[in-house]
Structure 1
Amino acid sequence: MALMSPDHPLRFANFRAYLIGRVCAVLAQYAMMIVLGWQAYNIARETMGTQGAAAQLGLIGLAQFLPLFFLTPVTGWVADHFDRRMIVRCTLLLLVTGAGLLSFATYEGWVSLPLIFGIAVIVGIARAFNGPAFGALAPNLVPKATLPRAIALSSVAWQSGQIIGPAVGGYAYAAAPWGAYALSAALYGVALIAMLMIGKVPQAARDTTRHPIRQMIDGLTYVRQNRFLFATITLDLFAVLLAGATALLPIYARDILHVGSRGLGHLAAAPAVGAALTALWFAFRPMQREVGLKMLIAVVVFGASTIVFGLTAFLPNDIATEVALGALLVLGCSDMISVYVRTSLIQLHTPDEMRGRVGSLSQLTISASNELGEAESGFLAALIGPVAAVIAGGIGAIIITLAWSRLFPEIRLARSFDPPDIRPTGASPEPSVKQVKETTT
């Protein structure tokens, strides 16, 4: 710690415990998600064929998304009105139980599609409450002056876990299918222990004067009226929703590139390596200028690398896998840049008393782009084939990004991470937009 400045986030024990819990929980979550898809695909393929199994990948994503969709108004309000630490602890306990049950069922040989789908729904419910509370907790653990760096570290931890997790799951499944779930359960357990180490933290006072339903609507209203937040959140929703190449990795690994479960681990690891390298770069050279424009460029690169990955189906076998790995590496780099910028901007442009509700909406769009994106990719792959689905998704992501850069100039005009003068609930919801416009006049 001697090399750190006095206001560095890692100087604070609560934040260190939070960061450990954040990394372990996200690693476990995304390792488990890819294993759920891989196992469901293999089970279904034996009786339904490739097209039917591809549809099962879509249904797995849908099973995890629907709880988030229906519970989002409630989970955001809960995160703003109850102890965020207790919410995270309870949901982690539920996730440990679900992963442990799948591990035991797989080891004993009685795992089935209904069980996999049932656990997928439980995971979706737990994540619906876990995400907003986890995300909104970080700003409560450090002084205000340290907040931008703390949010950046939290964003990097989340994104690193999101992209490294599938690689961990793929390799663990190749070694022992039951062990992949056991590893997720263990990681969730470590996250739970870390969260138990966090002491009492300050949180914005609850609003007890207005009806809970009205307060739930406030979160949606705040995001909808703040063009900057609305544009930033929906960009990820539509771009990643379309470019869901990673959802079809099981199909590419087994039926297109013919590399098996170990090859699935390599393919899933490629975005992880790209994300890790990008995170390491930010650790030494944090982004400071033209953050909005760089985020837009990163999403365009994300779409382009998705297209290249899809086109590997037409390459000779001796180079197809290498090109696919390279495309996924670039995809991971660009995805890390995008999420790093987007998550930091969202947190810094939201007052603490609204962070749970805004975070729940942000999580809904992220889940829509990931889980619902898996459903879209799976169903589209069953309809037009996996290769066409991947290529079309990449093209769609680029078109969406170009359209958003014109429809919402607030994004490309965001110069830095410096937070605006956030006002209390009920004040003008667009301070950042006004500030950006003032810099251009």
Structure 2
Amino acid sequence: MFDPVFGALFWGKMFSVVAVWTHGIVAAIVIFNATGSAVMVGLVGVAQFLPQLILSPTSGKWADTGNPGRQILLGRVLCIVGSGSTAAWLALLPDLEGTKAAIPVLVGSTLVGFGFVVGGPAMQSIVPSLIGDGELPTAMALNSIPMTIGRILGPAVGAYLAANMGPAVGFVISAGLHMIFAVFLLLVTFPSRPEPQPDTDYRVRAALRHVWRDRPLLLALLAVSTVGFASDPSITLTPSMAQALGGGTHLVGVLSAAFGVGAATGMAVLAVLRGRLRSELVSSIGLWLLFCGCSLLALGSVTAIAVAGFAVAGLGFGWSMTGLSTVVQERAPEELRGRIMALWLVGFLGSRPFAAALLGGAADVFNVRVAFVIAAAFTLVVAASCRPVVLSAPN
């Protein structure tokens, strides 16, 4: 955490992830207040994460052959432009209503999504080059902490700003936090990638072939997609759940923050354990906890059960993402790591548009608890398939 290079990435990512979740929850609140539709809220996820499906493999190729620090910096610049332009649009035109209010939010969220896709694979794949032998499980647990802290602070900060100072201020804060990360990146020098070898296949299809042949790696990536799918309701469905419970904007922040608190608890335990549990076992436990959390939310007719459900789901999210990320990093060859981590991002973030559309649609057509039943069913199937013995099988 205090290494000049790994620490810069760690703390800079902390600011950036808080910014991402601040943007996401403010965007969700603005669109839900303007339209009253969970499907429209889901379009925020579509705008932010659909670029992952299209451009992540290419971005992963850049991470394997280019300058990862520069690539991460370019991603932050796009995020600054996305949140900053949304803030300016809403500040200049504060009286927009309905679909007209959703347009600037969706445009800005799309730019933030491009920031994800440009910088994400490089940010993930560079971690092993910053640590020593035997430190990967601990480093991956630490690498997940910014995501967890962001899940706690971002929704709470975003909901507070939206309720008390207006959405434009929330988007300004988000842009400013991304700018802090950009400053961190300018102050350090990351190790460069090895020179490309003439006999190495740097095409995306080489990574796809490797993943297809390594079935435990393929299953781990499918599990990552499921975790992304099942964790999306912590943003997309919190306005609907808060409304069903008779709460308002502040309850949206409480529910989403409960997810982050659960994830933070899981991360803290894993950091203390320092890799004593095998990553395959951590992955499996996390998936089952995520299933239990979604099941509780499907039953959540009172606020206390809903908060507990989000907290348990967050705990499962933290364990499953740390375990699965370690499995993927350990099984990925150095020359393919950028492209394979791009597939990791495709799974985790690319599943979010489908989750937003399916789960948001279910909440609108039926009710929010039906949406959580769907999320629990998907997680159950994958948890049963990704047993530790399966994920640890030889290639």
Structure 2 length as normaliser, TM-score? 0.91
Look up the match of 1:433.
Answer: 394
Look up the match of 2:191.
Answer: 201
Look up the match of 2:328.
Answer: 346
Alignment of 1:300-379 (within 5 A): 300-313=288-301, 320-379=302-361
2:75 matches 1:91 = yes
Alignment of 1:124-143 (within 5 A): 124-143=113-132
Look up the match of 1:153.
Answer: 142
Q: Percent of counterpart pairs with the same letter?
A: 23
SS of structure 2 residue aligned to 1:332: helix
- Give the deviation of 1:226 after TM superposition: 1.2
**Cα separation, 1, equivalents of 2:46 and 2:390:** 32
Q: Is the 8 A contact 1:136 1:359 kept in 2?
A: yes
Look up the equivalent residue of 2:75 and give its one-letter code: T
Look up the equivalent residue of 2:35 and give its one-letter code: A
The verdict on how the C-alpha distance between 1:374 and 1:163 changes in structure 2, with shifts beyond 3 A counting, is: farther
- Give the deviation of 1:211 after TM superposition: 7.2
2:23 matches 1:32 = yes
2:50 matches 1:66 = yes
The verdict on how the C-alpha distance between 1:399 and 1:351 changes in structure 2, with shifts beyond 3 A counting, is: closer
**Cα separation, 1, equivalents of 2:49 and 2:169:** 25
Look up the match of 2:41.
Answer: 57
**Cα separation, 2, equivalents of 1:371 and 1:186:** 26
Q: Is the 8 A contact 2:227 2:320 kept in 1?
A: no
The structure that has the greater radius of gyration is 1
SS of structure 1 residue aligned to 2:105: helix
Look up the match of 2:375.
Answer: 393
Name the count of aligned residue pairs. Answer: 388
- Give the deviation of 1:163 after TM superposition: 5.2
The verdict on how the C-alpha distance between 1:360 and 1:310 changes in structure 2, with shifts beyond 3 A counting, is: same
Look up the match of 1:76.
Answer: 60
Q: Which runs of 5+ in 2 are unaligned?
A: none
**Cα separation, 1, equivalents of 2:10 and 2:384:** 34
**Cα separation, 2, equivalents of 1:271 and 1:92:** 25
Q: Is the 8 A contact 1:155 1:344 kept in 2?
A: no
- Give the deviation of 1:240 after TM superposition: 4.4
SS of structure 2 residue aligned to 1:37: helix
**Cα separation, 1, equivalents of 2:182 and 2:20:** 13
Q: Is the 8 A contact 1:95 1:185 kept in 2?
A: yes
- Give the deviation of 1:128 after TM superposition: 0.9
Per mean C-alpha deviation after superposition, the further-off stretch among 267-276 and 79-88 is: 267-276
1:41-75 residue CA offsets vs partner (Å, 9 max, x unmatched): 21123xxxxxxx12212322222232111112211
Q: Which runs of 5+ in 1 are unaligned?
A: 1-9, 46-52, 314-319, 415-431, 435-441
Look up the equivalent residue of 2:356 and give its one-letter code: E
**Cα separation, 1, equivalents of 2:75 and 2:351:** 22
1:89-129 residue CA offsets vs partner (Å, 9 max, x unmatched): 11101211211122222333166222222122212222111
Look up the equivalent residue of 1:357 and give its one-letter code: R
The verdict on how the C-alpha distance between 1:240 and 1:398 changes in structure 2, with shifts beyond 3 A counting, is: farther
Look up the match of 1:178.
Answer: 168
The verdict on how the C-alpha distance between 1:433 and 1:162 changes in structure 2, with shifts beyond 3 A counting, is: farther
1:195-240 residue CA offsets vs partner (Å, 9 max, x unmatched): 112214132322455676xx11112112221112111110131354
The verdict on how the C-alpha distance between 1:371 and 1:163 changes in structure 2, with shifts beyond 3 A counting, is: farther
Look up the match of 1:381.
Answer: 363
2:20 matches 1:20 = no
SS of structure 1 residue aligned to 2:191: coil
Look up the equivalent residue of 2:85 and give its one-letter code: L
Structure 1 length as normaliser, TM-score? 0.82
Q: Is the 8 A contact 1:88 1:134 kept in 2?
A: yes
Look up the match of 1:102.
Answer: 86
Look up the equivalent residue of 2:192 and give its one-letter code: P
Per mean C-alpha deviation after superposition, the further-off stretch among 191-200 and 394-403 is: 394-403
